[in-house]
Structure 1
Amino acid sequence: MKAVKKWISVTLLMSAAAASIVWQDKPVSAEGQAPVTIYKDGDYAGASQTLDVGFYNVDKLKAVVGNDAISSLKVAPGYRVTLYSDSNYGGWTKTFTADASWVDDMNDEASSLKVEQIGASHAPVTVYSNAPYGGFEQEFGVGDHNVEELKAGVGNDQISSLRVAPGYKVTLYQDYNFSGGSKVFTSDAMYVDDFNDDVSSLRVEAISPLDATGVAVPDNAYSDASKRQLLQNFAPKIWFAQGESYFPSSVEFTFPYVDRYLNPNSGKYEFKTKTTLDPLTLKLPYFTGDLAHAPIYAFWVEKEYNNVDLVYFQFTPYDLGKNVLGTEVGDHVGDWERITVRLAKFADNGVNYVKPVQVYYGAHSFGTTYRWDEVDKVNGTHPVVYSAQGSHGMWKDPGNHVYQELVIDQLTDVTNQGTAWDTWNNVQAFQYYPNEATGNGLGNAWPTWLDKDYTNPDGGAVYHFGNPQVGTFFGQPLFAEGPTGPQEKTALTSDVLLD
């Protein structure tokens, strides 16, 4: 594979629809140190290897530190390193943006890695060999790119996902010389569907970034007030199912009914009910929530590739589990569910715009991403969400959604139009900084329960927002552990992923 290079600038020649491309190899941190140094032993000891921006497969690791041998690492400011458990950038991953004296569960597991510069400029189109946005990658400017160019980079018939900057489109072709079946993308695709591993040439073209979905940034500036306004503009309309008994509230609404205590198992401060749940199915009065005063917790999160994720968290005091063979399983105190709207940022004739391109619907521990044009909306900007009865998983459509097959039963979310919640009428707005693990309020205070100093007895940080797990039933928790909060979710902690 040829050396991975960083895109520095693109000068668009509108008359010829071409681009002038300047490349730069091997950036060096401001302090003069290598972007990343890996070590064979913990606490930065043993054999070491310095790494510049680029890809390092198993053969390069074997040369110094070794395969399955990394135990600690140092990361210069402004860089990130992603470790892969398998060669060829496969398997599970772990990303670091700061020094780690111990790489935890990735110890002696890494067989390949990638070093990137945070916030670096990118070409109009980036393609990846894995989904989503993993494995080998290759960047392309405006123009035609035939099979020979693909072979020198990501590979022929190897593309699985891609990113497209606003103002561009990419056409994938199944055959070389821009022939065979074709598929056009004008925004990011976590998976290229029926073109997966079936692309032998591609064409990148400039288009106008403006269309009916573009929204001018208020006051033409990304101020706190403008960010708050945009968070309100795209806040979802949530339908709770008919017969719903457990509605959202603010976190503070639950304070009179819970204790913040040091969990001896996690070593962190968490919430549990002041009243013992005996039996486990006991329903306390406050579990019904306070919908009339409930806020939607909305986060502005800057992401790579000039994207912004608007992440909307719904908090409910209680989650009703499922009935499995006549037994109620999976109930838990505290529940966080989310929907994310991804915006692409761009400017046209001196005016700043954002353009909604994707929506992520989170349901329990998984979720589904849709294009903006695939989801129903209110007033053109508010995506419609269906919250599952009792368990609150967020879905795009009404109906019965089987989300887990058990040997003895199915776990199903039921959604329909019962009670409506126009969340834009009560938004608590924040900005979160993934690489700093903190944030600030946008027109409202930052609550201490969003902090991450979980071992501080005098602070307010909360790790789990509900009681510990009790028992199991056919592999399912009889009573489930309360969830972690927004500050622990990938939607906020990653500066790349849509989640």
Structure 2
Amino acid sequence: MAARTEVNASRLGSGGYRHQISNRLCIRHGAQHRSNDLTRPRDGGKGGVPLREGFFLNFPNRLRAGQGTSSPVYYEYSPRNYLTYWFFYPFNEAPGPTNIFDHEGDWERISVKLDRHNRAVIVAYYRHNTYCTVPWKRAGKHHGHPLAYSALGSHATYPRAGSYPIPEAQGLVSDIAGRGHGWATYHHLKNARTQGWFGYGGAWGEVGDGPDSTGPLGPSIFKGATLTDSEWSRPHPCP
């Protein structure tokens, strides 16, 4: 464990932080887990880490306000394959009367499919546990860049402003994506793969009572940056 002011980003991504599980007598035992292993708590015991154990980042609640539209946006680029934009939000506040889906830290993204000539052909907008796609020619643009709308609180990403029922909520709750403050992300781009934290396999946020209230995984080999070839080839139109 590191103090709040002592977390080194490069050690996160390189596996420089290590820990063994402790039993009820506080005796460490078993395999030693590294911070670039799949170590997100509440992640179903993947990677050989017990369900309630693992690495997580717990930043002060006062920082949840973030940096607004001056915040960096991270990208992953694979030539003639895809270009993905990652957006980080300090807190996810789900719509509706319940807070069981609220969690600290929130990574969202859109992904652009590129053809063999490196031209954009499709845009995938991610929301909750699914996604939808729009042909590049029909996707909204801002100065030639793909335009996306972030839902209030949940930050689910949509191709246009509007109200969208959340399937997981069985239609009882909807995302609201409005025309809020513009975030000219192309002025704040940083390569995700060159960041010291890239590859960190723990949670980006505190541990909650369940997986939905625990900080999510971030850009890494454990969280795919884009769709598979078969997913891109199947129409999944946005509402």
TM-score scaled to structure 1, two decimals? Answer: 0.35
Deviations along 1:65-110, whole A, 9 cap, x unmatched?
A: xxxxxxxxxxxxxxxxxxxxxxxxxxxxxxxxxxxxxxxxxxxxxx
Indicate yes or no: 2:209 matched with 1:486.
no
Letter in 2 for 1:421: W
Question: In the aligned structure 2, how far is the partner of 1:422 from the partner of 1:270?
Answer: 30
Indicate yes or no: 2:116 matched with 1:337.
no
Root-mean-square deviation (CA, aligned residues, Å) is 3.0
Question: In the aligned structure 1, how far is the partner of 2:229 from the partner of 2:215?
Answer: 26
Q: Percent of aligned pairs with the same residue? A: 27
Counterpart in 1 of 2:164?
Answer: 401
Distance 1:405 1:492, change over 3 A: closer
Question: In the aligned structure 1, how far is the partner of 2:161 from the partner of 2:96?
Answer: 20
Distance 1:492 1:360, change over 3 A: closer
Structure 2 unaligned residues grouped into runs of 5+? 20-40, 42-48
Q: Retained in 1: the 8 A contact 2:104–2:215?
A: yes
Indicate yes or no: 2:57 matched with 1:271.
yes
Letter in 1 for 2:178: N
Distance 1:411 1:355, change over 3 A: same
How much does 1:418 deviate? 1.3
Q: Retained in 1: the 8 A contact 2:56–2:207?
A: no
Counterpart in 1 of 2:195?
Answer: 447
Counterpart in 2 of 1:390?
Answer: 153
Distance 1:412 1:493, change over 3 A: closer
Counterpart in 2 of 1:429?
Answer: 191
Question: In the aligned structure 1, how far is the partner of 2:68 from the partner of 2:169?
Answer: 33
Q: Retained in 2: the 8 A contact 1:323–1:329?
A: no
Letter in 2 for 1:287: R
Question: In the aligned structure 2, how far is the partner of 1:400 from the partner of 1:417?
Answer: 12
1:40-51 counterparts in 2 under 5 A?
A: none
Distance 1:369 1:495, change over 3 A: closer
Q: Retained in 2: the 8 A contact 1:313–1:337?
A: yes
Indicate yes or no: 2:127 matched with 1:356.
no
Query: Which has the larger share of helix?
Result: 2
How much does 1:298 deviate? 0.7
Q: Retained in 2: the 8 A contact 1:360–1:368?
A: yes
Deviations along 1:214-245, whole A, 9 cap, x unmatched?
A: xxxxxxxxxxxxxxxxxxxxxxxxxxxxxxxx
Counterpart in 1 of 2:31?
Answer: none
Deviations along 1:367-394, whole A, 9 cap, x unmatched?
A: 1011111211122x21111100011000
Question: In the aligned structure 2, how far is the partner of 1:450 from the partner of 1:378?
Answer: 28
Query: Which has the larger share of strand?
Result: 1
Distance 1:257 1:369, change over 3 A: farther
Question: In the aligned structure 2, how far is the partner of 1:309 from the partner of 1:419?
Answer: 27
How much does 1:286 deviate? 0.9
Q: Retained in 1: the 8 A contact 2:76–2:225?
A: no
Letter in 2 for 1:335: D
Letter in 2 for 1:336: W
Structure 1 unaligned residues grouped into runs of 5+? 1-254, 276-283, 347-353, 431-439, 441-445, 452-460, 472-476
Counterpart in 2 of 1:465?
Answer: 204
TM-score scaled to structure 2, two decimals? Answer: 0.69
Letter in 1 for 2:123: V
How much does 1:490 deviate? 2.2
Q: Retained in 2: the 8 A contact 1:319–1:390?
A: yes
Distance 1:470 1:268, change over 3 A: closer
Q: Retained in 2: the 8 A contact 1:334–1:482?
A: yes
SS at match of 1:272: coil
Question: In the aligned structure 2, how far is the partner of 1:358 from the partner of 1:371?
Answer: 4
Letter in 2 for 1:416: G
Q: Retained in 2: the 8 A contact 1:298–1:312?
A: yes
Distance 1:328 1:466, change over 3 A: same
How much does 1:293 deviate? 3.6
Q: Retained in 2: the 8 A contact 1:449–1:462?
A: no
1:201-216 counterparts in 2 under 5 A?
A: none
Q: Retained in 1: the 8 A contact 2:69–2:181?
A: no
Q: Retained in 2: the 8 A contact 1:301–1:492?
A: no
Distance 1:295 1:328, change over 3 A: same
Q: Retained in 2: the 8 A contact 1:313–1:339?
A: yes
How much does 1:495 deviate? 7.4
The number of aligned residues is 192
Deviations along 1:179-214, whole A, 9 cap, x unmatched?
A: xxxxxxxxxxxxxxxxxxxxxxxxxxxxxxxxxxxx
SS at match of 2:155: coil
Question: In the aligned structure 1, how far is the partner of 2:169 from the partner of 2:191?
Answer: 39
